[in-house]
Copies of this chain bind each other. A is one copy, B any other.
Amino acid sequence: MSTTASAIVAAFAELIQPVSGDLKTVIEQPCAQEAPKERGICFIGDAKHLTQLLQSPIAALVVHTKMVAKVSELAANSKIVVLSSKNPKLAMALVDQRFFAIAAKLAPFDGVRVHPTAAIAKTAKVATDAVISPHAVISDGAVIGTGAYIGAHAFIGAGTVIGAGSIIHPGAFIGHNCKIGERCEIKSGAAIGSEGFGFATDEKNQHHHLPHYGGVILGDRVHIGVGTTIDAGTFEPSVIGEGTKIDNQCHLGHNSKVGKNNIMVTGFIMAGSVTVGDNCVFGGGIMVNGHITIASNCQFAPLCMIVHGIDKPGVYGGYPPIPLRESFKVQASIQSLPRLRRSVSKIMKHLGLKDDAEA
């Protein structure tokens, strides 16, 4: 694939502006600022690798707007075309998606749109331009929307709807009675709509499973990572709002109600019946207790243990969650505990008091 600087500027005029150099310059690949490549395009937010980049064989450089003056000077004699953006990372995402899409990701196997090894139930409906890969299984009454991609070995349960343009990666499992929005991405090994973990215990201490009828609803543009599990609700659906992005190996229990544009990083485990607002960010390795509510616009540092509800926006950390700055103090205090114990011992001895603090 290749494009030109002018095509990029034309496509994203509000986000990307020309600074210097020839806009007809041909660009062939995106690359990392640490590893510039021939005819590549780089997006930078700071000047860390600027000097090396300007001497490298890249074709184009997109810099943060605030760097324009400095770069203009340095790039005066360079053949590299320089563009600017108020958000170079966003520019990179949008340019890469638009001009340098990964062909292998969505290519029909051997060029065959609906592979003959796929098992498609008689009552299922598949849009005429959807891709169905080898060994995929589309169950009774399922509906596959226009432009959707169903990967190899993916399983689509009975009555489930896959929205337009959604990508179901190889080996993903979508249970029955689910609704996946448009332009979602469900990664390999994820399981959406498996029955929740709910049991009733009898007098002999035997546990009896509660059937889960609720399924799962994902809004548009939801991202579900590899191996992540979103369990079906007991009676009503578990819901993940549009634009929420969930990383690999996360778990959201039955009856989850999650809002829009949240980010949940690897190892996020949320027990059942939790409500989450919009625009929250959850760092890695976070766990959330069941039956609580978390307000919109909260940020949680990695490893935060959210054992109680959070009712106002803020930046939190620790176990239990407290304002992040305070959680740093607590964490620092833990490290100085042995010294604190010695001080208290010293005081007790000084005062002739009996020392309760020695283990």
Chain A interface (Cβ < 8 Å from any Cβ of B): 30-32, 34-35, 87, 89-90, 92-94, 96-97, 100-102, 104-105, 107, 109-110, 115, 117, 119, 121-122, 133-135, 137, 139-140, 151-153, 155, 157-159, 169-171, 173, 176-177, 185, 187-189, 191, 194-195, 197, 199-202, 205-213, 221, 223, 225-227, 229, 231, 234-236, 243, 245, 247-249, 251, 253, 261, 263, 265-267, 269, 271, 279, 284-285, 287, 289, 302-303, 305, 319-320, 322, 326, 329-344, 346-348, 350-351, 353, 355-357, 359
A290 to chain B, nearest CB (A): 8
Residues of B within 8 A of A356 (CB): 339, 342-343, 346
Q: Is the CB of A101 within 8 A of B211?
A: yes
Q: Which residue on chain B has the smallest CB distance to residue A340? A: B357
Residues of B within 8 A of A107 (CB): 140, 158
Cα–Cα, bound, A8→B287 (Å)? 40
Q: Is the CB of A100 within 8 A of B243?
A: no
Residues of B within 8 A of A223 (CB): 207, 209
Contact pick for A194, options B207, B208, B226, B332, CB 8 Å = B226
Q: Is the CB of A267 within 8 A of B248?
A: no
Contact pick for A229, options B137, B139, B243, B248, CB 8 Å = B248
Add 19 more A-B contacts to A93-B210, A249-B251 (CB < 8 A): A35-B235, A92-B200, A105-B176, A119-B134, A152-B155, A189-B189, A191-B227, A191-B248, A207-B223, A207-B243, A265-B271, A330-B338, A333-B341, A335-B359, A336-B359, A339-B356, A339-B357, A347-B348, A351-B351
Instruction: Evaluate whether A169 and B194 lie within 8 angstroms (CB atoms) in the complex, with A236-B35, A357-B343, A359-B336 already known.
Output: yes
Q: Is the CB of A341 within 8 A of B347?
A: no
A109 to chain B, nearest CB (A): 6
A176 to chain B, nearest CB (A): 4
Nearest first, the 9 closest Cβ-Cβ pairs linking A and B are A333-B337, A119-B134, A104-B158, A104-B176, A32-B235, A93-B200, A90-B200, A343-B357, A93-B208
Cα–Cα, bound, A266→B225 (Å)? 17
Residues of B within 8 A of A357 (CB): 336, 339-340, 342-343
Q: Is the CB of A344 within 8 A of B342?
A: no
Most buried by B among A104, A107, A157, A209: A104
Q: Is the CB of A209 within 8 A of B97?
A: yes
Instruction: Evaluate whether A200 and B134 lie within 8 angstroms (CB atoms) in the complex, with A176-B104, A261-B205 already known.
Output: no
Residues of B within 8 A of A263 (CB): 199, 207
Q: Is the CB of B210 within 8 A of A177?
A: no
Contact pick for A329, options B177, B213, B234, B338, CB 8 Å = B338
Q: Is the CB of B289 within 8 A of A302?
A: yes
Residues of B within 8 A of A206 (CB): 221, 243, 261
Contact pick for A227, options B115, B140, B227, B336, CB 8 Å = B227
Cα–Cα, bound, A323→B345 (Å)? 24
A233 to chain B, nearest CB (A): 9
Of the A-B pairs whose beta carbons lie under 8 Å apart in the complex, a sample of 5, sorted by A's number, is: A110-B140, A115-B119, A133-B137, A205-B261, A231-B248
Contact pick for A191, options B100, B158, B189, CB 8 Å = B189
Cα–Cα, bound, A210→B236 (Å)? 34
